[in-house]
Structure 1
Amino acid sequence: MLSATPSAAHADTDAPPPLTDGNGLTQVPTERAIADNNTGTAFVITVTTPQVANDPGTTGHHIKILLPADYAANPTKRYPVLYLLHGVGGNPIEASSYAALQNPTSMIEVIPDGGTRGWYTNWLYQTTAAGAQNWENFHINQVIPFIDANLRTIPDRAHRAIAGISMGGFGAFHYAQNHPGLFSQTASLSGAIDLSRDAMDVRMAAVGTLTNVGGVCGSSSPVCQLSFGPTVSSDALFGTPYLFSIYYPYSDTLWNSADPSTHMAKMAGMGISIYVGNGNGDPSSMEFWAESASKHVKDHLDALKMPYHYVDYGNGAGWGSCDGGHDGLCWAQDLQDWIPRLEQAFAAA
């Protein structure tokens, strides 16, 4: 058993609860600069798993955990769980910084590492320069049962939610569709929730994170101007993103299969929330593309006559400090709106 070492500045009573290795996860020491900020209710653990290679220069994968203030004082009480998935280039610590997530009172919050561009799926090709990339196995088969085994969760569908930001929005809908028995509530914040042929801009943005080629997904989008790790083939994730190829699977069939927008019927009975802006009308903005993707999802939900909560805040006017962009100013307000609604849904379950 290994837990993150608490700072000397914290009393023993304010130390994180000890967690036991299991479900294929092995805990390793968390960097001192991070562990020094751990408390009994907000802490980071670091784990390794054969399912997912460590990013270059790292010793494992961070998982940020936030517990209700009364967790230690009520040793028989159990809590619902929110899993929040970060975006491309993000990390669990950054994603946990939003005010709406701080000091939860009625639920446990878990923000696991999703890699710089893991895309919350098991990659088609596992022998690229990025190494093993079985992110869905990691989160669904390891992280969730690890949390249920170590913390006092209410381990059922009605008391488990999944949400995500940008790439994490895709992950949240992808996991909810592939594992509908696990989640009762899901939300996309500026999510890449359309990878179909109707949203080739979003698909090419995903390709750009794999190939590190900025020009493949927009002239000025920040997401496409950075390096997210070892360069891999555009086919690494779901095979060819193009309509035809001489290599397996010979077409974009796996992209279409993974696309959330055309499979919304799989989420029947779930609470679905979608938040998005318009990127101030800039066609090279990731938020502009996310708005188009979100509208496609809304159209599919309408055709299915499925209920949902949809907020398009446009340029951000009147939506907190939001500027309409693909950034934390808007996601902070999204969470301010969604978290109380999630708590109400959990309370009613």
Structure 2
Amino acid sequence: MKILPRAVLRGWAATLVGLVATLGMLGPAATAAHAATAPPHFTNGFGLTVVSQPKWADVNERTFVVTVKSAQVPAYDVMQDQVSDEHVIMVTLPRGYDGTAGTRYPVLYYLHGSPEYPNSPRNQTLAERSTKGVPLITVAPNGSGHGWYTNWVHPDSRGRQNWETFHLDELIPFIDTNLKTIPARAGRAITGHSMGGFGAFHYAEDRPGLFSYVGSFSGVLDLQNPLMRAAVVGSGLLPTIGTPLAAPDAIFGPPVWPLDQAWNKASPAQNVGTLRGMGVAMYAGNGGDLTVDPVLAVAERLDRQTAVTTADHLRTAGIPYRFADYGDGSTWAKGCHGKHSQDVCLQADMNDFVKLIMKRLRHP
């Protein structure tokens, strides 16, 4: 057996000691690298007070929830587990987001439907899957079970129900101040599902200077349609969608002529003129087999008709648009049957919309 010189042994020993020391130093660092990182810290401003700082929704650390208060909607009709004077906002960040770096990102505002929570597991999945690998921030604010994304005409004892003011004048600058956004029209898009589809078009039409793209996923886009008026009024009379119950004229005023001016003014289908120069997209199925889930089938068919009416007005106005009119869903997404509020259909809607807006939005 060959005897190694002492100098070599000493060298190996020194190397081994150094390796052990290095590993000892790297151990805590490696542990820290895998430890949870804190979500962004939010400060009060623009009329919003932070009730609870952002908390990650799960260990993936892409989506967090922050809770605020607003004097524009000091109390609202709550569903189970909601607190009437607190508003949950869910935010999904792009992978690699760094609040200390100079990189800024565009924002997609997603307005939920009714009855739904902004931070529902489904909405988190929609945002995270559609933006995987995409440099885009997604923000889903509370819209209540029947807030209808508007400033109510007769809120009565609730106090102000100024949902539009809350979202457009308070939330948007609040997000731009607390996150690394592109705080300009070129850095914003808005969309929503069902009630939220109405909200997205209503907001974009009222404030076209804020958004460069608008979308609707099976949205309620025609408030001149008597069946849609009945749906809005009815949503305020169901305890599962929010209590206390809302009077028929609470949101848009009386739903009958000649007292229905607020309904007509807020109806997206007939007020598309301000969308000129903006990207516009609508998505809807036809309900598919009406004998399967007939309530959801009929709801989708009615919402599709409001999109058809909106498309007619867009075409007359000479405004380009995309209408993904996917029928029974068989060619749109696997497992999509063209029903209302079907997860796989909505995910396909969101995936397509994100691809569209990223061609127009300013981004890294």
Q: Which moved more, 1:295-304 or 1:334-343?
A: 334-343
Contact (CA 8 Å) 1:66, 1:108: kept in 2 or not?
yes
Change (3 A) 1:340 1:72: same
Pair 1:108 & 2:137 matched: yes
SS of alignment partner, residue 20 of structure 1: coil
RMSD between aligned residues: 2.4
- Pick closer, same or farther for the CA change 1:348–1:48 going to 2, 3 Å: closer
Corresponding residue for residue 41 of structure 1: 62
For 1:323, give the aligned amino acid: H
CA distance in 2, matches of 1:314, 1:100: 23
DSSP 3-state at the match of 2:58: coil
Q: Aligned residue for 2:184?
A: 156
Q: Which residue number in structure 1 is paired with residue 212 of structure 2?
A: 184
Which structure ranks higher in relative contact order (CA pairs < 8 Å, sequence separation ≥ 6)?
A: 2
Say whether the 8 Å CA contact 1:81–1:108 is kept in structure 2.
yes
Structure 2 gap segments, 5+ residues each? 1-31
- Residue 50 of structure 1 and its aligned partner are, at CA, apart by 1.6
Partner residue of 1:337? 352
Would the aligned equivalents of 2:94 and 2:131 in 1 still touch at CA under 8 Å?
no
Q: How far apart are the structure 2 equivalents of 1:228 and 1:330? A: 26
Contact in 1 for aligned 2:237/2:245 (Cα 8 Å)? yes
Alpha-carbon offset, residue 340 of structure 1: 1.3
Q: Do the aligned partners of 2:114 and 2:241 also contact (CA within 8 Å) in 1?
A: no
In the alignment, residue 41 of structure 1 is paired with which amino acid? Answer: R
- Which structure 1 residue ranges, 5 or more long, are not aligned? 1-8, 214-225, 245-250
| Range moving further from structure 2, 39-48 or 75-84 | 39-48
Partners of 2:205 and 2:270 in 1: CA distance: 11
- How far did 1:288 drift? 1.0
Contact 2:275 2:319 in 1 (8 A): no
Q: SS state of the match for residue 156, structure 2?
A: coil
Tell me the residue number matched to 2:242: 228
The corresponding residue for 1:61 is 87
The runs of at least 4 aligned residues of structure 1 exceeding 4 Å deviation read 9-13, 281-284
Separation in 2, partners of 1:54, 1:118: 8
The structure whose Rg is larger is: 2
Identity among equivalent positions (%) equals 40
1:170 corresponds to which of 198, 218, 222: 198
2:50 to 16, 24, 27: 27
Structure 1 CA distance for aligned equivalents of residues 45 and 305 of structure 2 = 41
Instruction: Confirm or deny that 1:295 pairs with 2:303.
Output: no
1:278 corresponds to 2:293: no
Aligned match of 1:315: 328
> What amino acid maps onto 1:278 in structure 2?
N
Alignment of 1:86-97 (within 5 A): 86-94=112-120, 95-97=123-125
Q: Give the C-alpha shift of residue 114 in structure 1.
A: 0.7
Does residue 361 of structure 2 align to residue 346 of structure 1? yes
- Aligned mates of 1:51, 1:103 — CA distance in 2: 34
Q: Shift in Å at residue 132 of structure 1?
A: 3.1
Displacement after TM superposition at 1:79 (Å): 0.8
Secondary structure of 1:173's partner? Answer: helix
1:305 pairs with 2:304: no
Corresponding position of 2:253: 239
- Quickly say closer, same or farther: Cα 1:30–1:148, change in 2 above 3 A: closer
Report the equivalent of 1:326: 340
1:120 to 145, 149, 152: 149
Q: Which amino acid aligns with 1:209?
A: S
Corresponding residue for residue 223 of structure 1: none
For the 8 Å contact 2:108–2:191, the answer to whether it is kept is yes
Give the Cα–Cα distance (whole angstroms) in 2 for the partners of residues 25 and 336 of structure 1. 31
CA distance in 2, matches of 1:261, 1:38: 42
The residue correspondences of 1:70-81 to structure 2 (distance < 5 A) are 70-72=96-98, 75-81=101-107
* Letter in structure 1 aligned against 2:206: N
**For residues 193-232 of structure 1, what are the structure 2 equivalents within 5 Å?**
193-196=221-224, 199-212=225-238, 226-232=240-246
Report the TM-score when normalising by structure 2.
0.81
Q: Is the 8 A contact 1:190 1:291 kept in 2?
A: yes
Moved more, 259-268 or 91-100: 91-100
Change over 3 Å in CA distance of 1:270–1:50 after alignment to 2: same
Structure 1 CA distance, aligned partners of 2:325 and 2:241?
Answer: 30
Write the distance in 2 (CA, Å) between the matches of 1:102 and 1:160. 15
- The letter for the 2-side match of 1:100 is R
